[in-house]
Amino acid sequence: MTKITAHDLAKKQKEISVAEFFERNKHILGFGNPTRAIVTSIKEGVDNSLDSCEEVNILPDIYVEVKNHEDGECKIIVEDNGPGIVKKQIPHIFGRLLYGSRFHAIRQSRGQQGIGISAVVLYGQLTTGKHAKIISKVQEDRPAVVMELAIDTNKNRAEVISRETIHWDKQSGTRIEISIIADYKRGKRFVYDYLQSTSIVNPHAQIIYKDAEGEEHFFERTAEAMPKKSSEIKPHPYGVELGTLIKMAKNTKARKLSSFLKTEFSSMGDRTTNSVCEKAGLDKNLNPKEMKREEFLSLHRAFKKVKIMAPSTDCLSPISETLIRRSLKHETKEISPEFIITASRPPSVYSGNPFQIEVGLVYGGKLPRDSPVQLMRFANRVPLLYQQGGCVITSAISSIDWRRYGLEQPSGKGMPSGPAIFLTHVSSTQIPFTSESKEAIADVSEIENEIKLAFRECARKVQHHIHKKVRRKKTREKFDLITKILPEIAKKSANMIDKPVPSLEAVITKIMDVVWIEDLIEYEKISRQTVQTTIIPDEESTSGSGGNITKSKIMVVNYKHNPQKFNLYALIPQEAVVGSVEPKPTKIADNYIKWNLGTIPPASKVDVSFELAGLEKGDFDENDLYVENINPTFVIGADKWEGD
């Protein structure tokens, strides 16, 4: 055997071009097979469109089209009404890998690595040899630019093949047309699922999808409000890696370690900075640019030893329970589910990265009864379609015992079966994906815990809901009993022995022996009137088509044989605006209304009502009532108030 020397090896070592890098890594980038390729391509385009619209506060109108050619080539078209891209930037954004404005910012956004859309251009080029076509218009009174691009794979630079200006009948926007080799037949279901899911977590977006058969699918906008804009935050010391720390120190303008820590990191005040320096055994006046590796190492270790306040969480943009509910309701209309329940957790932090969990549960209706529950996973409003098994969302759900909530689950572990859809949305400045294809979230115990807590809360609400339904049914039965059947029994027995019909009141209070609360919700449409329908009051996003007033009517009847006096609470959604309330409430809080009801004599009733604005029809379709200062077992239709 001949001996191979380092010189021999050097002959083989050369710079790997992006094309080679892509070719070798296409599976982790989401282009592993022709089915995945079509979904990934559309996903990258749509993610870009949504992000760019949000950045300039435009409600996204997105058009997606797929044209399928016999030979396995597909043309993907994604068009938006976003701000467009200035001419100069087009080649960079579409023709260079790892280029983007979001790569360096720490805040919640869809794409993060900037590998996105240019990877699609490259994939198209590698598989079909065709150029990508970009149309962009940035201003209403200017013409649009049409550019054909190729990627010079050796230089990682775009090559502009052609450039011209055209008239485009649109205020502003971007349209991309890319040809790729893809398996449309197998991929089309995933494309539809992806767009539908995207629409669910982006209720402010409208998506029109024209499939290769020419059929158009509309995913309507269900919220007129833009999502809360997430703000950028600085890295948190708990989350920063040693290498990043060193790089940050090399680039900082700060001259002293203390000011470097205070200006470049979040949650670092004077006191924390001092104790970090102390723990690290470093002079706080050190010049960060001159620090040695060992010093960085002890600094990095010191971060973990000091209690540092959690980062601020306003960099997150959750969807909100009401909007998740509304979207789910809209998209599951045909299933006519029995109920939709949502829960959201307060923001939390893992390794210095803020994150927040929101979940939704759709139950019953036409959903299949004996197949596993359907999971819908989302990260920063992006649906995750693949690698369900390797995702922390799946393992969190599997670790909950769902049997007590009426779902099938052999041995109380694993994916439950039953007529349900579970939605999970993880928002974070840094989603810990398991790989670059961003299809599964890694097993981070803080995240898993929060997901579990959210679903437990959801499950509790489900139980509460079922419990309430059962009680309501019983209430109705009792009502039938005392109003219809009992009088009949009395009449019949009296007739058979020729006596006058006996009086029933005493027997009725004996049978009921409860305070009975019955409620009803109605909606009243108000036309052409400005109603605040947004979560964040916003001049531009008031509903143009009018809104709904939600009217809740509650009847309280005392069927006990002694007078009753107690307090009543009705929960209301936080984003609702409370209108008229009868009788005069004792307190209107963020999320409830409280009444100190006057004494109710036996066999008498009190009517209570309130109106809510700022909600769509159906957002509030069930009263959640609680009582205080009365034995809750005396009451049907409300539960014990446990405090705020």
Partner 1 sequence: MGGGLKNMIDKDYSHVINKIDSLAAKIYDDFQKTDVPFLQLPTRTKSNIKFDGKLNVWKYGKNTIERSAKSLDGAYMLLRTMYMADFIKEMIKVKKSSTLREMYYISEGWDLAKFHSQNESNLLAEDLEVITSCMREDFKLRPEEDGARVIGNITIEEMTRNNTKKKIHCQDDVGDAGYSIPYNVEPEKITFKGIDADFIVAIETGGMFDRLAENGFDTSNRAILVHLKGQPARSTRRFIKRLSDEKNLPVIVFTDCDPWSYRIYASVAYGAIKTAHISEYLATPAAQYLGVTPSDIENYELPTDDLTKEDINALKSELTDPRFQDSFWKGEIKLQLKLGKKSEQQALAKYGLDYVTDTYLPEKLAEIGLTRK
162 binds partner 1 (CB under 8 A): no
- Choice from 490, 571, 581, 589 touching partner 1 (CB under 8 A): 490
| CB 228 to partner 1: min, Å | 50
- Identify the residue among 466, 504, 603, 613 touching partner 1 (CB under 8 A): 504
Q: Toward partner 1, which CB reaches closer, 21 or 479? A: 479
Return the residues of window 310-339 that contact partner 1 according to CB under 8 A: none
61-68 vs 206-210, strand pairing mode: parallel
Please count the residues of this chain forming the interface with partner 1, following the rule CB under 8 A.
Answer: 24
* Residue of 56, 98, 494, 588 that binds partner 1 (CB under 8 A): 494
Q: Residue 602 or 618: which CB sits closer to partner 1?
A: 602
Site string for partner 1, 21-50 (x = CB under 8 A): ------------------------------
Contact status: 562 vs partner 1 (CB under 8 A) = no
* Burial category of 634 from C-beta neighbours within 10 Å (exposed 0-12, middle 13-18, buried 19 and up): middle
Nearer to partner 1, 489 or 536 (CB): 489
Angle, alpha carbons 265-270-271 (nearest 5°): 110
CB of 558 to partner 1, least distance (A): 18
CB of 465 to partner 1, least distance (A): 22
Does 603 bind partner 1 (CB under 8 A)? Our answer is: no
Find the binder of partner 1 among 160, 415, 507, 577 (CB under 8 A).
507
Residue 484 lies near partner 1 (rule: CB under 8 A): yes
Q: 580-613 burial string, b = 16+ CB within 10 Å, else e?
A: ebeeebeeeeeebbbbebeebeeeeebebbbbbb
Note whether 481 binds partner 1 by CB under 8 A. yes
Backbone φ, ψ for residue 559 (5° rounding): -100, 15
Structure tokens at 53: 């619209």
CB of 410 to partner 1, least distance (A): 20
Q: Give all strands (DSSP E) within 153-205, no chain letters.
A: 157-166, 173-181
Q: Measured from the CB atom, is 9 or 496 closer to partner 1?
A: 496
Name the percent of the chain in helix, strand, coil, to the closest 5.
35, 25, 40
Dihedral sign computed on CA atoms, order 374, 378, 384, 385: positive
Closest among 356, 343, 340 to 421, alpha carbons compared: 340
Q: In the chain, what is the straight-line distance between the N-terminal and C-terminal CA atoms, in Å?
A: 80
User: Applying CB under 8 A, which of residues 105, 486, 555, 603 lies at the interface with partner 1?
Assistant: 486
* Residue 480 touching partner 1 (CB under 8 A): yes
Cβ neighbours of residue 70 under 8 Å, at least 6 residues apart? none
Q: Which of 143/502 has CB closer to partner 1? A: 502
Report if residue 254 touches partner 1, rule: CB under 8 A: no
489 touches partner 1 (CB under 8 A): yes
Answer for the pair 110, 101: CB distance below 8 angstroms, yes or no.
Answer: no
Which region, judged by CB under 8 A, interacts with partner 1, from 85-93, 127-135, 432-440, 482-490?
Answer: 482-490
Q: Which stretch binds partner 1 (CB under 8 A): 213-221, 223-231, 304-312, 504-512?
A: 504-512
The interface mask with partner 1, positions 510-529, x = CB under 8 A, is: xx------------------
For residues 166 and 494, which CB has a smaller minimum distance to partner 1 in the complex? 494
> Closest Cα to residue 377, out of 448, 326, 425?
425
Query: Which of 139, 128, 156 lies closest to 15, judged by CA?
Result: 156
Q: Which of 8, 477, 522, 590 binds partner 1 (CB under 8 A)?
A: 477
Q: Phi-psi category of 593—alpha, beta or left, where left has phi over 0 and alpha has psi -120 to 50?
A: beta
C-alpha neighbours within 13 Å on the C-beta side of residue 496: 6
Q: Could you give the CA distance from residue 507 to residue 478 in angstroms, rounded to a whole number?
A: 13
One residue of 140, 141, 294, 488 binding partner 1 per CB under 8 A: 488
Q: In what order do the strands lie in the sheet with 567-571?
A: 587-588, 592-596, 567-571, 625-628, 639-640
Q: Which positions lie near partner 1, rule CB under 8 A?
A: 477-478, 480-481, 484-486, 488-490, 492-497, 499, 502-504, 506-507, 510-511
